[in-house]
Amino acid sequence: MHRHNDPATAFSLEGKLAIVTGGGTGLGFAMASCFIAAGARVVVTGRRTDILEDAVSRLGENAFAEPHDVTDGEEASALLERIEKRHGAPALLVNNAGTHVKKRLEDTSQQDFQSILATHLGGAFSMTRAAVPLMKQAGGGSVIFIASMSSLIGMPQIVAYSAAKAGYLGMVRSLASELGPHQIRVNAIAPGWIETPMLKKALSGDPQREQKILSRTPQQRFGSPEDIGWCAVFLSSPAASFINGAVIPVDGGASIGF
């Protein structure tokens, strides 16, 4: 039986290696930062080397950049081999990389739809598939999928994104069931409206939309990126050792509020 009575170790990620996809900006950067604060070393991946290098310089000596395009599923195994060789076997993986298309159904092309699914579902699948054998060898691990409010509630003009984020929940449940016996836990975080550059851009010049979001969020404010970061730390830590297959909204109550 696992007992974690000491808060100093229950929430610690000391000695763990984490991989955060899309780790150079926004929520990915915040999660990487919180992981490092909890004692982990972190590999951030993404397509743009300049953004990754800048992130690593700000994150400090326990952060490492590995350029990777998650849509290139065939390259995921080579990436994980490279990471293991340079930094050791990962115990933690966060599937965070994603793209977004906001269009009406009639304006969403087949290519738009396929592209969103390839990045979110295809990317998360290939990264998890490549990382899990290393976690099995190491005796366990934690995989986190960054879901969305659109995994839980209906939102207009994002049919592809909603399909992908709902698909994450199916992957989480299936993998939690399959990998649990190997002590690999698989969970999801569903962020609400978090104050990131992406949100600011989406809301700029649209006070009506901002008011709508705040009015349906019981805490009547936006979240901070660190709210997601610390939830990811908790889910990856010994304190969460019996949490598997869960979807945790971090949304100020937006998904259940009236």
Asked if 161 is an active-site residue, the reply is yes
Assigned token pair, 144:
């986190």
Cα first-last separation, the chain: 41
Among 161, 193, 222, 230, the one annotated catalytic: 161
Q: Are 55 and 65 in contact (CB under 8 A)?
A: yes
Active site residues: 161
